[in-house]
Structures are given as C-alpha cells and as structure tokens.
Homo-oligomer: A and B are copies of this chain.
Amino acid sequence: MGRAARDAATVLRTASADQRSQAIQAMARHVRARANEILAANAEDVAGATAMVDRLMLNDERLEAIAIALEQVAALPDPVGQVMARWLRPNGLDISRVRTPIGVIGMIYESRPNVTADAAAICIRSGNAIILRSGSEALRSALAIHGALAEGLKEAGLPEAAVQIVPTADRAAVGMMLEGLGGAIDLIIPRGGRALVERVSQEARVPVLGHLEGVCHTYVHASAEPDMAAEVVRNAKLRRTSVCGSTETLLIDRSVAPSLLPQIAEVLEGCELRGDKESQAIVPMAAASEADWHAEYLAPILAVKAVNGIDEAIAHIARYGTGHTEAIVAEDEQAAEHFLDRVDSAIVIWNASTQFADGGEFGFGAEIGIATGRLHVRGPVGPEQLTTFKYQVRGSGQIRP
C-alpha cells in the first residue's frame, strides 16, 4: 500500500486541477449509484454497533449529503501551483514560493462514515494520495464508500491507489501506519477520541497533524452587552453540543456575574451547569470539580467559573484549554484586543460564537478537522492546509560571489 500510494502521489502531483476535479465529481456520482450497496453495508455496521449509533448511521439523506460535499470540494479552487509569494533579488534572481502537495497522507479515524469521502476528496483536491484506516465500527460502510471513490478515480484516469483503505480492523495496521510504512507516509492525521490521539502521539514516527479535544471557553467580560452575551453563550454551548468547537467552560467577570449569570442561565434551557462556589451562590447549580475544567463534555453540560478580570480568564484558558477555540464577549475594544493577542489558541474570537470554528464557516469550503498543534498549520484543515511549498528560482546565469 505504501509503495502504491507513493507512486500515485507522483502522478497526482502533476495531474491537472481539472482532472482532479473530475475525479471528485465522478466519486460523487458513484456514491449515488452505489447507494443501495453502501446503505446495506452501513446497516450491517449499525447492527453490530454498541454505541454512538447515530454518528454511524447512514440513510438516503445523509448519503446525499456526502455526495453533495464531494461536489462542493470538486468546485473549490485548486491550491496546487498557487504562487504564495514572488520577489526579485538585487542580482536579478526571480524567486517564487509555490504550493505543492505534501505527498501521502495517512488518515486514522473512528466512527463517522462521511470522513471516508470527505478526507479522500480534500486530499485529491490538494494533490495528495491518502491511506484511510477506518475504525472497526464503521468499516463495512467505509469499504463500501471507498469502492465508489475508487470507481470515480478510475473514471477520471487517475490511479485508484490515490485513495486506499486498510481492509481490516486489525489494530496492527495502525501501528504500521504510525511507523510510516517504510517512509511512504508523509503525514498522519488522527481523528478520534483521547485514546487514539494518545496512541498516535506516543507511537508516531512521522509528523502528525493532531486534532486534540476542544475544551473551548467563552469569556464574558464586564463590558459585555448582556443580551449579546446570553445569545452568544447559548449558541456556543447548545447549537450543537457534539462538535469540537462547542463551548465547554463559561468564564464570567466577577463584577457582572450577579446580574448577568442569571440571564445567561435562563437561556441555557436544558443545559446542566457545574460551577465554582461563587457561581453556585448566584445561580443554583452543581459544584464543578477539577475534572470539569478539563472536560470536553460534547453534551449539554457547561462548567461555569467567575473570574477576577481578563488576566485571570486568560490564565485559566492557558492552564485548561486545548489550544482549539476561545471567545470573549466584550464592548471594550481594548480588552477584546488584549484577549485576541494574549490567548494562544488556534482560533480566538471576539463577540461571536465558538461554534464558528469550522472550515466551512472560515470560507475554506471543506475541512477534515481542526488542528490544535502548533505545526504545520493550526485551525481548520482544508485543501490549502494539506499543501507544502517549494521555491522556484529563475535566473540568467547568476553565480554566487
């Protein structure tokens, strides 16, 4: 698989943008054409599942959403060959920094079947070959979807090995991928729970684009407009509780907590609150333990803490945050800019919901996760983020003195 992927990557690197678009469009057609087969495979997966059945289950509507997502990626601007910068040196050398594919991506993921199609499409859009390793719960679905993707590649004249999938749920395959398949994998992208991410960071011998948990914070500053604060917190927590950009901890300035916390609590209907002593004294709620400040609930639960001003909020985020997304609600521009400057997360937001942490919302068209590490990129990972670059230097016989 490693050798085949490397060979496919060489073809992809120089395939035209149009040919890669056509391949992704053909993938969408074949996903639709094989709907019965894919849904039957998915039904088997669902029958065998013990948990997270909703994440796993496909139906006509969800399968159509997968096909539409493929078409959207096919229509995205192609990053390969983009000139990121170009400058002329005093000696006449003309230097360009040009985007190129990374090469071969290894994607290790758990139970969402749509990841199979999304990740493949984003890799083809960015000129990369991909080796997919689905979790066992979704393996039949992933194999059926992969069959459709391979047909699409074939139809567009691209090597089928551009998108490969590990055909078994054998955990040893993950180990081999983390070793890099003998130099064939350039980058591993894990998407899954804490156990997977920890295994990857322990064992990987190749670079990893990590997608840690999102312990995201919304901080309500003393200057916040109360109605905006309530609306933003509600959306950040409750719009969808299962996404990584949902807020897990509310920090609120001590000075405004007595008036504002009750208003916020009122709009958080159906949400369990767990607070520090001060918050508990204002609104009846359960006591938060140390574990709550670290928790990625992905559920209608919110940890609440009163803080003594912006620097205590920033310090709390530095200690408990995972570098994903944090927001401040404030009318005081100076305070907001201080927060945007000092908080060292992939995404920092002023006066908007943390649920905007999403490649689509950023205008990237598609994403396969939010990178929470510091290298190679941070934040939403779309096609552009799966590129690297090279320098092209054009001269007229220059020699170096």
Residues of A participating in the B interface, judged by any CB pair closer than 8 Å:
10, 13-14, 87, 89, 93, 95, 100, 102-103, 186-187, 201-202, 205, 207, 225, 228, 231-232, 234-236, 239, 318, 336, 340-342, 344-353, 355-356, 358, 361-363, 373-379, 388-400
A391 — which chain B residues lie within 8 A by C-beta?
346-348, 362, 378-379
A374 — which chain B residues lie within 8 A by C-beta?
102-103, 186-187, 388
Residue of A225, A232, A374, A376 contacting most chain B CB atoms (<10 Å):
A374
A336 — which chain B residues lie within 8 A by C-beta?
394
- Report yes or no: A350 in contact with B393, Cβ–Cβ below 8 A: yes
- Contacts known (A89-B363, A340-B392, A342-B14); A397 close to B228, Cβ less than 8 A: yes
- Report yes or no: B100 in contact with A352, Cβ–Cβ below 8 A: no
- Report yes or no: B231 in contact with A399, Cβ–Cβ below 8 A: yes
Beyond known contacts A236-B399, A362-B391: 13 more, CB 8 A cutoff: A13-B344, A100-B344, A228-B397, A231-B397, A232-B399, A239-B399, A349-B395, A351-B394, A356-B398, A374-B388, A375-B388, A378-B388, A378-B391
In order of increasing CB-CB distance, the 4 nearest A-B pairs are A352-B395, A235-B399, A375-B376, A352-B398
A201 to B207, CA, bound (A): 10
The smallest C-beta distance from A394 to any residue of chain B, in angstroms, reads 5
A171 to B376, CA, bound (A): 29
At the interface, is chain A mostly helix, strand, loop or mixed?
mixed
A346 — which chain B residues lie within 8 A by C-beta?
390-391
The smallest C-beta distance from A178 to any residue of chain B, in angstroms, reads 12
The smallest C-beta distance from A92 to any residue of chain B, in angstroms, reads 9
A351 to B389, CA, bound (A): 21
- Report yes or no: B393 in contact with A356, Cβ–Cβ below 8 A: yes
- Report yes or no: A396 in contact with B355, Cβ–Cβ below 8 A: no
A396 — which chain B residues lie within 8 A by C-beta?
351-352
The residue in chain B whose Cβ has the minimal distance to the Cβ of A342 is B14
Partner of A207, one of B207, B351, B377: B207
A271 to B98, CA, bound (A): 35
- Contacts known (A87-B363, A207-B207, A375-B102); A390 close to B352, Cβ less than 8 A: no
